[in-house]
Each structure stands twice: as structure tokens, then as C-alpha cells.
Amino acid sequence: ETNTLPFHPFENQQGDILRVEKEHQVLKEQLKEAEEKFEQLQSRSSEEIGALEELLRKSVEETEVSQNELDWFHQDSEAQGKKWQQEKKESRDNLKALRSTAKKHTDTNERYLKAIDDKEKQYNVYLNTFLDTSNKFANEKVKLEELIKKSQDDCQECVKRAVKAEISVFQNWKETEVWKLSGTVAKAEANLKMLKTLSSSASAAPLVKSQIDSWETFISNVKKQLEKVEAEYEEKIELVKSGARISLTKVEIVDIPSP
């Protein structure tokens, strides 16, 4: 964005200052040319005056020259002198005007240079302030990044601990339910064994047969329930290990009434 926008209040549009400087340079060259023309004109006029004065001297010395020729010579000399004085006055007026214009542009140029210098100082102040602020923000950014990294590490550690805790909870629930169901199976198998012992008696066999069937069905259902509980808890544990988010709930246990 540097040097692509107008420099207010000294520029209404991009390039005004450069244009004024170019005009100033052109006026300086015109002033120089006018001074050279003035000097040439002054030299030529001096030569002409010298020649006229030499003619006048010769005319005075030569008594043969008629009075009419002498009057004509004086008139011509006066006309040439007036013409030269008029040209000299015009040249002086032009030179004065050019000098006034050149001084005006010089003053304007000095004013612009002073304004540019003031703006440059102000820019340096703003730049130093910006650099100080930038360094401050950079230091704060480094501190924040370190805090974020520490927080991320703490978060990862918390996640690991949470995963371990969830796995531990599911493992405890599984072991508890398996222990309960295994105890139920053991008690049922003990009852079944006792019933089979009683069935060896011929008199009790018809009555015990239906009880044996009921207990065998009960044991089979409880074992299926046991396998289902173990499988579902293992599935939940594997999901937690893989990073999946699941609700921390127990596996639903169907209450199987014993015979």
C-alpha cells in the first residue's frame, strides 16, 4: 500500500507532488533560458550602443557630415536606445515574474518537504509502537500456545484416565453379574444333582422328573444369560478402548424365575 494512495492534505490525487516538482523544474529551466536571452540581448545592445557611439564620434569629428544626417543619426540612436530600453524593461519584468513564480514554487516545495519529514517522523513513531505491540502479542501468543499444549496434554491424560475408569467400571459390573449368574448356576446345578439322586427312588421318580426338566431348562437359560452378559460387557469395553463415546450403563439383565 506504500505510495499508492494520495498523500493528504498535500495531494488530491496520486502524483500531485511529483507534478508540482516537475512544474518547478520546468520553471527553473525557463528562468535560466530567460536569463541567457537577457544576457545575450544586453551584450548585443551593448555592442550596438558601442557601434552607435563610435559612429557618433566619427560624425562629430567629420565636419563634412551635414546637420540633417547628424539629426537623423541622433533620432535613429534615440529610437534604438528606446527600443533597447523597452526590451530591457520587458526582460526585467519577465525575469521578475519568473523569479516570483520560482520563489512561490520553492516555498511550496519546502513546505511539502517539511510536511513529508513530519509525516515520516510520525510514521516512525507508529511503526515503533506497532513493533512493540507486535512483540508483546508474540510473547503472549507463545505463552498461550504453551498453556494450550499443557491443557491438551492434561486433557489427553484425563481422557486416558477416564477410559481406564470406564473400562474398570464395565469390568467390575461384568464380574459382579457373572459372579451372580455363576452362583445361580451353581445353586441350580446342586439342586438338580439332588433331584437326580432322589429320582433313583422308583416311588419318587414320576414326581421328580418334571422338576428335573424345569431345573435343566432354568440352568440352560441362565447360562445363555451369562454368555450374553459377558459378550455385551466385552463389546462395551472394546468400544471404550477404541475411543468411542458410549453411555455408562449396565447391561440389561432378564430376571429368570427359578423353578
Check whether 109 has a pLDDT greater than 80.
Answer: yes
DSSP 176-222: HHHHHHHHHHHHHHHHHHHHHHHTTSTTTHHHHHHHHHHHHHHHHHH
DSSP 250: P
HSE (side-chain half, CA atoms, 13 Å) at 17: 18
pLDDT per position as a tens digit, 127-164: 999 999 989 999 999 999 999 999 999 998 988 888 89
More confident residue, 184 or 59: 184
Structure confidence at residue 56 as a pLDDT band (50, 70, 90): confident
Distance of CA 223 to the CA centre of its chain: 68
The residues, ordered by sequence, that sit 6+ positions from 230 with a Cβ below 8 Å of its Cβ are 174, 178
- Say if residue 205's pLDDT is above 80: no
Q: In this structure, which amino acid lies at residue 112? A: Y
- Domains of the chain, by residue range, sit at 156-242
According to the model, what pLDDT value does residue 244 have? 83
Choose the weakest-confidence range: 37-51, 95-109, 192-206.
192-206
Cell triple for 69: 544626417
Q: What is the pLDDT of residue 252?
A: 81
Three-state DSSP class for residue 146:
helix
Poorest-pLDDT segment among 8-12, 94-98, 138-142, 149-153: 8-12
Q: Which residue has the cell 477416564?
A: 162
Q: Is the pLDDT of residue 216 over 80?
A: yes
